[in-house]
Every structure is written in structure tokens, then in C-alpha cells.
């Protein structure tokens, strides 16, 4: 009459926390204007304010790619776990 409830993996996993941090880090870095609102040091004649932001374009790309790869791996693992548990 009573069936055991289906055990589901937690929604918040360490991998998902890392994914979230990868996606939030660029926003925090860009919103914290006081950390980069200065002219020195210059890099090949470009003030810090500008090259710091351009550097974050590259960093954001790398972090987004990392988050995507982690998400894909997490989804494959969850699908395999779900498929493996049903057999």
C-alpha cells in the first residue's frame, strides 16, 4: 500500500555552485567599479580602466565556457543516473 518515495538527487550540488560562481564572477568584477576606476598602471599606453575591462571580456568567455562544459557534464551524469536507476 505505501511505496517508498523516489530518492532524487539534490538540486543544489557542488558542481552547480561552481557553475553559478563562474557566471556571477564577471558581474561582481564589473559592478565593483572602485577596484578599477583608475588610470595607472598603463599597459602599452592604455589606461588600467580600459584594459582591465577588456581582460574581463576574455575571462568572462573562459568562465562561461567552463560553466557550459560543467553543465553539460552534470546533465549527462544526471541522465545516466536516472536511466541507470530505472533498469
* Any domain includes 2: no
Looking up cell 555552485, which residue turns up?
Answer: 17
Q: Give the number of residues written for the chain.
A: 87
Is 70 a member of any domain?
A: yes
Assess if residue 64 is contained within a domain: yes
Which alpha helices (H) appear in 1-87, and where do they start and end?
14-31, 48-86
Cell numbers standing for residue 64: 562561461
Half-sphere exposure of 48 (CA within 13 A, CB side): 9
Q: What confidence score (pLDDT) does residue 4 get? A: 67
The answer to whether residue 26 is domain-embedded is yes
Contacts of 54 (CB under 8 A, 6+ apart): none
Digit-coded pLDDT (tens) for 7-55: 666 688 889 999 999 999 999 999 998 888 888 898 899 999 999 999 9
Domain presence at residue 39: yes
C-alpha gyration radius of the chain:
21
Number of domains in the chain: 1
The pLDDT of 51-80, averaged and rounded, is: 93
41 preceded by a cis bond (ω within 30 of 0):
yes
Range of the domain at 70: 19-78
**How far, in Å, CA of 15 to CA of 72, rounded?**
11
The pLDDT of 58-85, averaged and rounded, is 89
- Residue 44 located in a structural domain: yes
13: in domain: no
Amino acid at each position: 500500500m505505501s511505496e517508498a518515495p523516489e530518492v532524487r538527487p539534490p538540486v543544489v550540488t557542488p558542481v552547480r555552485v561552481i557553475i553559478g560562481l563562474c557566471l556571477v564572477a564577471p558581474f561582481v568584477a564589473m559592478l565593483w567599479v572602485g577596484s578599477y576606476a583608475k588610470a595607472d598602471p598603463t599597459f602599452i599606453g592604455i589606461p588600467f580602466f580600459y584594459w582591465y575591462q577588456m581582460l574581463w571580456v576574455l575571462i568572462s568567455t573562459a568562465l562561461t565556457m567552463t560553466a557550459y562544459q560543467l553543465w553539460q557534464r552534470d546533465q549527462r551524469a544526471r541522465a545516466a543516473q536516472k536511466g541507470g536507476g530505472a533498469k
